């Protein structure tokens, strides 16, 4: 490497690193990416809510949103919830295209993306890359869920969910419906089916890859997908550790994206806050005010995320990860569910607190319905049993 210092070093050419770089105009930026091109390794399901889709379209191109959904079907062992909306409420992002467009924007601004070059933390002021030590004024750590920088500079022990996905040719799926499955094998998360034309992306996340794999096989069997129809398999990590209280270290290093992590606790979606925070971060870097980022980060992200995280951890401890599905269904029946709520999941909690007495009635009705079904099933099964016994006599 012919130079020894630069204004900004960005580690990682994922959406977090690329978006913040594409917003910096008055500083020189070098992005280091360990892979040979952007978008690798593939891991994301690419589902975002309404607000995020608008931000993505604005920052990149409307072409990046390639599928839209207006119906959500949640299937749990003890309930099925079917929600149809007048407008589209979930959107599929073409992740390779998203990253390609952002990389082009970064290069058109004169910034450099150095591929096949893994960066390592050296000190608070310097980074080690192949070619030597590089000094910077600011370092943006955007090295993803497996963040080596977070581990070395903060000393955190990372914790993850393992996400596994297959892409397959699938028939008879409604193109406008997203399917979410809850399974007793993975009580800590859920499985999903995302129709993409005549294909579908089927995935699941779990604390253990073996359990995730079994649920994936089960879903494949349930959908009657022959092995030959599966043409792609990939996986990735959804970070589970707590987000940093302060993402700024020593006035010169800032953590961004999954290294924070900026993911939503319930769904693991990371794109929403990357798109919300990147413009703010880029502006403060340009204005030499990185110190002010902490306060904005807390206001825009940290407090809301902490509330969601406490609730999600509670659901995990209760083994009741499907429970918000019921609450969403009740709010939907009351006409209180809005498109933006899937981007801002803490609002669902606040709304449910606001209508607690009404929800209690729904809860009792639900319990009554479940008991009624159980009672009917046992009557039916004793009838069948009696018939079997009689026919055997
Ligand atoms: C199974 C699964 C499904 C998901 N589904 C969704 C979804 O539906 N919706 C949603 O919003 N989010 C989803 N996410 C989360 C989303 O993919 C992430 O939040 C997002 O990709 C984070 O972006 P990032 O730039 O922080 O990290 P990444 O996308 O991981 O990018 C990090 C980049 O840094 C590079 N890198 C790492 N270390 C170094 C190093 N030392 N030197 C140089 N380069 C390095 C990597 O090669 C990579 O290119 C999903 C994640 C998983 C695992």
pLDDT digit string, tens, across residues 58-107 = 999 999 999 999 999 999 987 899 999 999 999 999 999 999 999 999 99
Question: Which of 72, 267, 88 lies closest to 180 in space, CA to CA?
Answer: 72
pLDDT digits (tens, 9 = 90+) for 169-210: 988 889 999 999 999 999 999 999 999 999 999 999 999 999
- How many C-beta neighbours within 10 Å does residue 212 have? 24
CA distance 221 to 268: 25
In this structure, are 107 and 8 located in the same domain?
Answer: yes
Pocket around ligand 1 at a 6 A CB cut-off: 11-17, 32-35, 43-48, 118-119, 142-145, 148, 163, 165, 203, 205, 236-238, 257-258, 263, 268-271, 274
Counting as low any pLDDT under 70, the low residues of the chain are 1-2, 370-393
Phi, psi at residue 7, to the nearest 5°? -60, -55
pLDDT at position 159 is: 87
Asked if 48 and 269 count as a contact pair (C-beta separation under 8 A), the reply is: yes
Q: How many domains does the chain have?
A: 2
Nearest ligand 1 atom to alpha carbon 32: 43
Domain assignment present for 165: yes
CA distance 15 to 94: 12
CA distance 76 to 74: 7
In this structure, are 109 and 143 located in the same domain?
Answer: yes
In this structure, are 55 and 148 located in the same domain?
Answer: yes
Domain assignment present for 85: no
pLDDT at position 388 is: 42
Domain assignment present for 58: yes
Nearest ligand 1 atom to alpha carbon 256: 26
End position of a domain, from candidates 239, 262, 285? 239
pLDDT at position 2 is: 63
Residues 6+ apart with CB under 8 A from 336: 351, 355
Question: Which of 215, 282, 195, 270 lies closest to 238 in space, CA to CA?
Answer: 270
**Ligand 1 centroid to residue 108 C-alpha, Å:** 23
Cα 116 to its chain centre, rounded Å, is: 26
**Ligand 1 centroid to residue 12 C-alpha, Å:** 9
Name the token pair of 181: 């499955």
Domain limits at 309? 1-67+90-158+244-320
**Ligand 1 centroid to residue 388 C-alpha, Å:** 56
In this structure, are 19 and 110 located in the same domain?
Answer: yes
End position of a domain, from candidates 286, 320, 354? 320
pLDDT at position 353 is: 83
Per the listing, tokens 């599905």 go with 325
Domain assignment present for 73: no
End position of a domain, from candidates 320, 340, 374? 320
**Ligand 1 centroid to residue 356 C-alpha, Å:** 37
CA distance 138 to 251: 8
Domain assignment present for 227: yes
In this structure, are 282 and 224 located in the same domain?
Answer: no
Domain assignment present for 113: yes
Q: Ligand 1 test: best mutation among 50, 90, 143, 247, most atoms within 8 Å of CB?
A: 143
In this structure, are 118 and 133 located in the same domain?
Answer: yes
Residue nearest to atom 39 of ligand 1 (CA): 143
In this structure, are 34 and 173 located in the same domain?
Answer: no
Domain assignment present for 4: yes
Distances (CA, A) of 253 to 25, 121, 244, 271, 364: 19, 11, 13, 21, 51
Nearest ligand 1 atom to alpha carbon 237: 53
Instruction: Give me the CATH number covering residue 177.
Output: 3.30.9.10
pLDDT at position 389 is: 40
pLDDT at position 368 is: 74
In this structure, are 112 and 231 located in the same domain?
Answer: no
Instruction: Give me the CATH number covering residue 114.
Output: 3.50.50.60
Residue nearest to atom 17 of ligand 1 (CA): 44
Q: Ligand 1 test: best mutation among 33, 38, 39, 44, most atoms within 8 Å of CB?
A: 44
In this structure, are 7 and 95 located in the same domain?
Answer: yes
pLDDT at position 258 is: 97
In this structure, are 114 and 165 located in the same domain?
Answer: no
Domain assignment present for 267: yes
């Amino acid at each position: 490497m012919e130079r020894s210092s630069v204004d900004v070093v960005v580690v990682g050419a994922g959406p977090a690193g690329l978006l913040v770089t594409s917003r910096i105009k008055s500083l020189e930026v070098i992005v280091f990416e360990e892979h040979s091109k952007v978008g690798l390794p593939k891991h994301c399901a690419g589902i975002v809510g309404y607000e995020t889709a608008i931000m993505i379209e604005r920052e990149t191109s409307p072409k990046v949103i390639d599928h839209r959904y207006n119906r959500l079907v949640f299937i749990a062992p003890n309930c099925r919830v079917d929600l149809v909306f007048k407008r589209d409420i979930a959107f599929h992002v073409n992740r390779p295209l998203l990253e390609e467009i952002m990389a082009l924007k970064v290069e058109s601004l004169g910034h450099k993306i150095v591929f096949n070059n893994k960066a390592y933390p050296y000190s608070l002021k310097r980074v080690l890359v192949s070619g030597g030590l590089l000094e910077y004024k600011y370092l943006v750590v955007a090295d993803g869920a497996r963040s080596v920088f977070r581990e070395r500079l903060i000393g955190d022990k990372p914790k993850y969910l393992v996400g596994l996905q297959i892409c397959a040719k699938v028939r008879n799926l409604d193109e406008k419906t997203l399917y979410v499955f809850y399974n007793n094998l993975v009580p800590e998360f859920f499985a999903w089916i995302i129709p993409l034309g005549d294909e579908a992306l089927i995935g699941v996340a779990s604390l253990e890859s073996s359990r995730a794999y079994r649920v994936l096989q089960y879903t494949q069997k349930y959908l009657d997908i022959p092995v030959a129809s599966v043409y792609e398999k990939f996986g990735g990590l959804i970070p589970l550790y707590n987000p940093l209280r302060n993402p700024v270290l020593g006035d010169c290093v800032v953590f961004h994206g999954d290294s924070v992590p900026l993911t939503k606790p319930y769904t693991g979606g990371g794109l929403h806050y990357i798109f919300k925070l990147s413009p703010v971060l880029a502006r403060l870097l340009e204005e030499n005010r990185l110190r002010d980022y902490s306060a904005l980060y807390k206001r825009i992200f940290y407090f809301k995320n902490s509330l969601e995280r406490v609730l999600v951890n509670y659901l995990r401890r209760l083994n009741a990860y499907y429970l918000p599905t019921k609450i969403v269904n009740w709010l939907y029946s009351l006409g209180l569910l809005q498109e933006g709520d899937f981007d801002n999941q803490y609002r669902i909690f606040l709304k449910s607190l606001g209508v607690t007495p009404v929800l209690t009635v729904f809860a009792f009705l639900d319990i009554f319905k479940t008991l009624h079904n159980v009672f009917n099933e046992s009557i039916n099964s004793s009838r069948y049993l009696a018939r079997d016994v009689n026919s055997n006599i």
